[in-house]
Amino acid sequence: MKLSTFGTKFTTHSGILSLMDDLGNALATEDEMIMMGGGNPAHIPEVEEVFRTRLRRILDSQNEFTRLVGTYDPPQGEKEFIHEVAAFLKRQFGWQLSARNIALTNGSQAGFFMLFNMFAGDFNDGTHKRIQLPIAPEYIGYTDAGLSENFFIASRPDIDYTAPHQFKYRVNFANLTIDDSTGALCASRPTNPSGNVLTDEEVSQLDTLARTHDIPLIIDGAYGTPFPNLIYTDAQPQWNSHTILCLTLSKLGLPAARTGIVIANEEVIKALTGINAIMNLAPNSFGSLVALDMVRDDSIVDISKSLIRPYYKDKADFAVQCLYRHMDDSLPWQVHKPEGAMFLWLWLKDLPISSLELYERLKQRRVLVVSGHYFFPGIDEWRHKHECIRMTFTRDNTTVEQGIAIIAEEVRKAYAE
């Protein structure tokens, strides 16, 4: 088979493919693997019941059933849902926007693919621009999303020590150089993998930089406000005509619905709509219809605040307690302050083996985590890249504690080598 440059790039080994494969295979074998690797949202029974009730109502209505399965939406996405999302965001935050500021994508992953390649890569004037990540570690799903090479540039963060065995990444603005080769800034907030939440002050500073350089600031709110609100610290969402805010229904509990929501200025939405038409004809209608009522009556905020956020917050607290219980105080382990999302990010300073080797050893012990080195797109050499692992804490408490006990044993052995 002879492949084009595109075909070659997108079929060669990619971090996200090996991760998803690994997770899928581990789940398929089901032989006592302790799964602390994936980003699948938990199945919260009360939340699932809300979806189930809504689906029953859709099935009982001929009109809604036809909209669910038998109608192409416009390339911008389901009209009524978009209208309601605009009204919802206005009510919640007072943002001055209309339906012309919103487009839907088949999952936010597809949204990032389109946005990144709109703002970075090769330009008609012969220049090449990159997506700049103000902090790495950053979401593994960005890494291979560029149509050309040399697509990301990232800055090492500052590290603050916030409590015994805890740290927090901060944007190092002194090292954040933006020039003509920067196409857009992008950060996930909360951050996958670290659970960091950029402070309001950091976001304001990034916003100022974006405006000064007339480039977009893309904020990935997959875990953020207003839904699913997996934020355990104080953080306000911000939006203006330079911001592109990407939300998704996935972490609310609807990853199979593949519904991403992009909120941006009209020019960006128009461009995205055009790309959507070419790539997909229309986005999926399923998520829009399931979430429609929840957005219309604001109950999506209540569900997030009263059911989803507390569920994950309890899990985060429990997982951190397990770390303190099982890891040796004398070892230089550090966990990122869990400020959001569904992961703990463990930093094993000066670990004698690489994080990939630790991942392999843990896999032998039937514990699946993710090696941290995948999460540093745009950063070449830095020992820290090979000293971290990401652990998902969404499983039941007994399993999480078993997993962490085994991780602690393997870490202890590795430091003793």
Interface with ligand PLP (CB under 6 A), residue from 101, 143, 182, 192: 192
Identify whether the C-beta of residue 387 lies closer than 8 Å to the C-beta of residue 358. no
Cβ 247 to ligand PLP, closest distance in Å? 8
User: Tokens in use for 389?
Assistant: 């692992």
Cβ 100 to ligand PLP, closest distance in Å? 22
Distance of CA 297 to the CA centre of its chain: 26
Across the beta sheet with 343-348, the strand order is 158-163, 166-170, 333-336, 343-348, 388-392, 370-371
Distance separating alpha carbons of residues 103 and 257, to the nearest angstrom: 16
303 to each of 78, 190, 221, 233, 298, how far by Cα in Å? Answer: 22, 19, 17, 18, 9
Q: Would you count residue 288 as binding ligand PLP (CB under 6 A)?
A: no
Cβ 109 to ligand PLP, closest distance in Å? 3
User: Tokens in use for 251?
Assistant: 């972490």
Q: Would you count residue 312 as binding ligand PLP (CB under 6 A)?
A: no
Q: Would you count residue 260 as binding ligand PLP (CB under 6 A)?
A: yes
Site string for ligand PLP, 133-172 (x = CB under 6 A): ------x-x-------------------------------
Q: Which is nearer to ligand PLP, 215 or 222 (CB)?
A: 222
Tell me which stretch binds ligand PLP (CB under 6 A): 177-185, 247-255, 284-292, 386-394.
247-255
Tell me which stretch binds ligand PLP (CB under 6 A): 85-93, 107-115, 206-214, 224-232.
107-115
E strands along 138-242, which residues? Answer: 152-154, 158-163, 166-170, 182-188, 217-220
Q: How many helices (H) and strands (E) does the chain have?
A: 13, 16
Tell me which stretch binds ligand PLP (CB under 6 A): 103-111, 178-186, 331-339, 352-360.
103-111
> Would you state the torsion angle of the CA atoms of residues 122, 375, 156, 335, taken in this order, to the nearest 10 degrees?
160
Interface with ligand PLP (CB under 6 A), residue from 76, 101, 109, 334: 109
Q: Would you count residue 107 as binding ligand PLP (CB under 6 A)?
A: yes
How many residues belong to the site for ligand PLP (CB under 6 A)? 14
Tell me which stretch binds ligand PLP (CB under 6 A): 104-112, 177-185, 279-287, 344-352.
104-112
Q: Which is nearer to ligand PLP, 104 or 406 (CB)?
A: 104
| Three-class SS state of 189 | coil
User: Hunting for tokens 């689906």 — which residue is that?
Assistant: 55
Q: Would you count residue 334 as binding ligand PLP (CB under 6 A)?
A: no
Q: Which is nearer to ligand PLP, 105 or 155 (CB)?
A: 105
Q: Would you count residue 339 as binding ligand PLP (CB under 6 A)?
A: no
Q: Which is nearer to ligand PLP, 304 or 411 (CB)?
A: 304
Tell me which stretch binds ligand PLP (CB under 6 A): 80-88, 248-256, 264-272, 346-354.
248-256
Distance separating alpha carbons of residues 105 and 285, to the nearest angstrom: 10
Q: Would you count residue 248 as binding ligand PLP (CB under 6 A)?
A: yes
Q: Would you count residue 108 as binding ligand PLP (CB under 6 A)?
A: yes
Cβ 244 to ligand PLP, closest distance in Å? 13
What's the length of the chain?
A: 417
Among 179, 191, 193, 131, smallest CA distance to 378 is for 131
Q: Would you count residue 220 as binding ligand PLP (CB under 6 A)?
A: yes
Interface with ligand PLP (CB under 6 A), residue from 238, 255, 349, 405: 255
Buried b / exposed e over 188-216, threshold 16 CB at 10 Å, is bbbbbbbbbbbbeebbebbbebbeebebb
∠319-320-321 over CA atoms, to 5°?
90
Residues forming the site for ligand PLP (CB under 6 A): 39, 107-109, 139, 141, 188, 192, 220, 222, 248, 250, 255, 260
